[in-house]
Every structure is written in C-alpha cells, then in structure tokens.
Structure 1
C-alpha cells in the first residue's frame, strides 16, 4: 500500500475535505517537491502518495495548509494565524511496510502518529 495520509478536522468533527497538501522527499536541509494535492471528501488522497514500488527508505515531509482550510470554512482566525502550515517530517525505515501519516487538526492544535 505504500504511503498514505488522512486529515481530520477536530474543530468541526469531520474529514478535512479540500485541504491542500504538499509532499516532499528530504535530504538534510534540502526538500524536493514530489507532488501537491487536495484532499477528497473523506479527508484522504485518492490513492497512495507513493506505492510500495516507489517508496524508498529515507526522510519525507508532508505540509498541510491548515490556515487556508479553516479560513475557507469561515473560521474567524487571528492575524497572523496561530497555525498556518503544519509540516511533518518523518522517516521510512522499511519501504515494504505501509506507512500511514494521519493528522488531527484544529486552528490551535494538532496531533499525528504512525497509523495502520
């Protein structure tokens, strides 16, 4: 299954449909954009970010545009936003395994973990 992500909007209690996400491969301080996408109605990508054949051991980054998402939902946010982009840097040690990187987010907090 490769690498996947999923975002839940904990303020509204629903998937974060329409949130923009950028996915990078990283090496030290260098980040190379792999792809940009928008989450579907279930707060997920339409397919894996990388399938098992493309996933390689190494470091990656997911950058979630949470500020724009909550503004589009009509949430009154301070200027500047407390959270604008949430970037998660993570490592893949075993490319043959499935890596799922969920994000639970509100305008003021977030949480992540290695999902299944």
Structure 2
C-alpha cells in the first residue's frame, strides 16, 4: 500500500527538527489543504501524511514552517528571514509506492530528495 511520509533534519544543529508545522496541500486543480501537523521529537510525523484511498496520483505541496522553528530555537536571523516557509512541490505518479519527502534545513539553506 502506498503512503506519503516526511521528516525534518536541522542541519545547523545536527538534530531532528522537532515541533515544526507541516502543511500538506493538493495542488491538482483547486489548491486544497489536506493535513496540518507538527513533527515529533524525532523530526517525523506520527503517522503517514497520506495513505490508503487518500493517497492518489497528482501534484502536492509540503509547506514547512522552518523560520518559525529557528526563531523558537533562539537563532538570530535578519528580517525578513532568508529561509522562512519552505515549499516543496512534487508529483505522485505511482500511488502504490512509498514516497518519503525529507527536508534538510538550516536558516540559510535547504535540500530534499525522494527517500525510501
């Protein structure tokens, strides 16, 4: 059964990104909010963002509220923040597969990849 998962790594401090707000949007046609969750102590969501019949082929966005996370960590950054909300738009072509979309983030950079 296919599913969508994510996790966040704080590369500035070498630890999981805990308590980061993550929004999942469907962007196929009308933009629609599907999930609004926070990462746990391990930088992961407690359950898949999508799975089963809810996990369909299409275009999606994950919005990570990284700037708020770093502000809560006491990191001093300029206003406006260089990295604030990180928006990752991606496609699901095979909904019977596991799509893992991690975020590696610092106040100055970020990267992602399709994990397993």
Q: TM-score, normalised by structure 1?
A: 0.96
What secondary structure, in the 3-state scheme, does the structure 1 residue paired with 2:71 have? helix
CA deviation after TM superposition for structure 1 residue 40, in Å: 0.2
Could you tell me how far apart the structure 2 residues matched to 1:44 and 1:108 are?
Answer: 21
Give the CA RMSD over aligned residues. 1.0
State the partner residue of 1:63.
63
Could you tell me how far apart the structure 2 residues matched to 1:31 and 1:9 are?
Answer: 28
CA deviation after TM superposition for structure 1 residue 20, in Å: 0.6
Could you tell me how far apart the structure 1 residues matched to 2:6 and 2:31 are?
Answer: 19
State the partner residue of 2:7.
6
State the partner residue of 1:19.
20
CA deviation after TM superposition for structure 1 residue 52, in Å: 3.2
Q: How many residue pairs align between the two structures?
A: 115
Q: Which runs of 5+ in 1 are unaligned?
A: none
CA deviation after TM superposition for structure 1 residue 75, in Å: 0.1
CA deviation after TM superposition for structure 1 residue 31, in Å: 1.7
Q: Which runs of 5+ in 2 are unaligned?
A: none
